Every structure is written in C-alpha cells, then in structure tokens.
Amino acid sequence: MITVNTHEAKSKLSALIRRVEKGQWVRICRDGTPIADLRPITRNADPLGQLDELRGVVFNEDPTAPLSEDAWPEDQQ
C-alpha cells in the first residue's frame, strides 16, 4: 500500500488509478490522518458465493422471472 496526501492524490489521480488497476492499494491522508483508501474492485462471478451461509444455494427456477396472473394471490377485500 502506498500513502499519499490529498494534494498529491488530486494532482496524480490518473497515475494512482493505474496502480490500483494493477492491484495496489492507495491510502489518502489529510494532515497525516487516513481518510480514504483506493483499492481494486473485486468482481465475484457468483454473488451468492460471497457469504458462507449462501454458498451452495441452487435456484431451480429463475427468481427474477415474472409471475403469471394465476400465481398471484386473490384480492381479499
């Protein structure tokens, strides 16, 4: 991880982003106090795999598919 002050981060943002794209973290400080981290975004192909509790969950149907009219409960007024 490299550490830069806010002025340096502002003036060298493009170069810092290139370093982040290569996997490096950048910590931005103001008056010696850390205020933000720049880090690469990790993309998980299986969003359910991010949580141990959901790892291995299998959907037998598409949960985002629209329901048919007869699948909705009747109005009870």
The confidence score (pLDDT) of residue 73 equals: 80
Element (H, E) at 6: helix 6-11
Domain that holds residue 33: 2-43
Residue at 31 is within a domain? yes
Computed over every residue of the chain, the mean pLDDT equals 87
The string of DSSP codes covering 7-52 is: HHHHHTHHHHHHHHHTT--EEEEETTEEEEEE-PPP--S-GGGGSG
The confidence score (pLDDT) of residue 77 equals: 53
Mean local confidence (pLDDT), 2-20: 96
- CATH number of the domain at 32, please: 3.40.1620.10
pLDDT in tens, 30-64: 999 999 999 998 776 666 667 788 777 788 888 88
Residue at 56 is within a domain? no
Domains: count for the chain: 1
Residue at 12 is within a domain? yes
The β-bridge partners of 3 are 27
